[in-house]
């Protein structure tokens, strides 16, 4: 895929930075209303959102939900993304401890603070607030991020995200720095709910076949640390709950390929359970069930090598 026109990149960066700074100046309810309003416009103005989102909901829920119920979930999903965007600029305030009214913490006792671990989540609720909210209870997290085409956008977003208890590492160069932080007792934050282009294994998500990243499982195996499913979902009053769930039980038979498949499926099962609790707060208009011919070919080649 080609890179965007530099003029367009610059315009989008200025627009995004301006929006972020505006929402910080507004009271939180007004900022959320602005984000929700823009999201509503996007829902009707961008047919791809409705097409992909409804196809995914049909695949995941079949006839168990009516068309009206699926439409409501999809509209709420788009609205949720608008809220995430509107709340992004408040990360420094959140990390600084001035937004205790906006969230609560549940299950912190499930996390072994004496060692590193993997915080595995998805694009559910406000995923951008996960790490800084954890920092308010003394948990240090290094998060994997994907860079933007415009380095100015990269710098702005990275500056907002990073803080005393949060560091970032670029996805394409994450393994070494992340392992170093894990050895120092930090947590590694990974969003593992999207369809990967590489390093994937076949899984079932909402009962349908797809692909999932092996990242959390491989890093946990290499660093000998647990994987904790985490989420930050919003209630009807607009208050988030940062929830740390018990560590997953991981299979360790010595058969690397089999263990990767089984443990990655357990990760996806945990993410699915969190999505089912709050379906309207998940990113339904991502092509989660997209086929990957290259991943299929590579997976079959690995299986064939193991059997010879």
Please tell me the predicted confidence (pLDDT) of residue 3.
57
Please tell me the predicted confidence (pLDDT) of residue 4.
65
**How is 75-118 classified by DSSP, letter by letter?**
HHHHHHHHHHHHHHTTHHHHHTT--GGGEEEE-GGGS-TTS-EE
Residues 120, 124, 129: CA angle, nearest 5 degrees: 75
- The SS3 call for residue 184 is coil
**C-alpha dihedral sign at 59, 204, 214, 257:** negative
Please tell me the predicted confidence (pLDDT) of residue 173.
79
pLDDT along the chain (308 residues), means of 10: 70 93 97 98 98 98 98 98 98 94 96 96 98 96 89 93 94 85 95 94 97 95 97 97 98 93 98 98 97 93 81
Please tell me the predicted confidence (pLDDT) of residue 287.
96
**Exposed/middle/buried for residue 91 (C-beta within 10 Å: 0-12, 13-18, 19+):** buried
**What is the reported pTM?**
0.94
């Amino acid at each position: 895929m080609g890179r965007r026109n530099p003029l367009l990149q610059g315009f989008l960066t200025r627009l995004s930075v301006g929006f972020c700074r505006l929402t910080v100046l507004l009271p939180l309810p007004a900022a959320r209303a602005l984000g929700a309003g823009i999201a509503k416009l996007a829902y009707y103005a961008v047919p791809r959102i409705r097409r992909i989102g409804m196809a995914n909901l049909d695949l995941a829920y079949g006839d168990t939900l009516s068309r009206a119920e699926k439409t409501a979930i999809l509209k709420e999903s788009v609205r949720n993304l608008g809220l995430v965007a509107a709340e992004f600029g408040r990360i420094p305030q959140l990390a600084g401890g001035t937004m205790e009214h906006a969230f609560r913490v549940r299950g912190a006792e499930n996390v072994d603070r004496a060692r590193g671990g993997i915080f595995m989540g998805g694009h559910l609720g406000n995923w951008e607030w996960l790490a800084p909210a954890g920092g308010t209870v003394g948990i240090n997290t290094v998060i994997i991020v994907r860079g933007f085409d415009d380095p100015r956008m990269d710098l702005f977003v990275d500056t907002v995200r990073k803080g005393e208890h949060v560091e970032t590492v670029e996805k394409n160069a994450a393994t070494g720095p992340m392992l170093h932080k894990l050895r120092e007792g930090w947590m590694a934050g990974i969003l593992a709910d999207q369809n990967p282009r590489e390093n994937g294994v076949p899984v079932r998500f909402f009962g349908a076949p797809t692909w999932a990243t092996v990242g959390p499982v491989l890093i946990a195996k290499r660093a000998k640390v647990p994987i904790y499913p985490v989420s930050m979902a919003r209630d009807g009053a607009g208050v988030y709950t940062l929830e740390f769930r018990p560590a997953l039980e991981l299979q360790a038979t010595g058969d690397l390929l089999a263990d990767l498949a089984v443990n990655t499926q357990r990760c996806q099962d945990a993410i699915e359970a969190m999505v089912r609790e709050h379906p309207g707060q998940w990113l339904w208009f991502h092509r989660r069930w997209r086929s990957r011919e290259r991943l299929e070919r590579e997976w079959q080649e690995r299986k064939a090598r193991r059997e010879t």
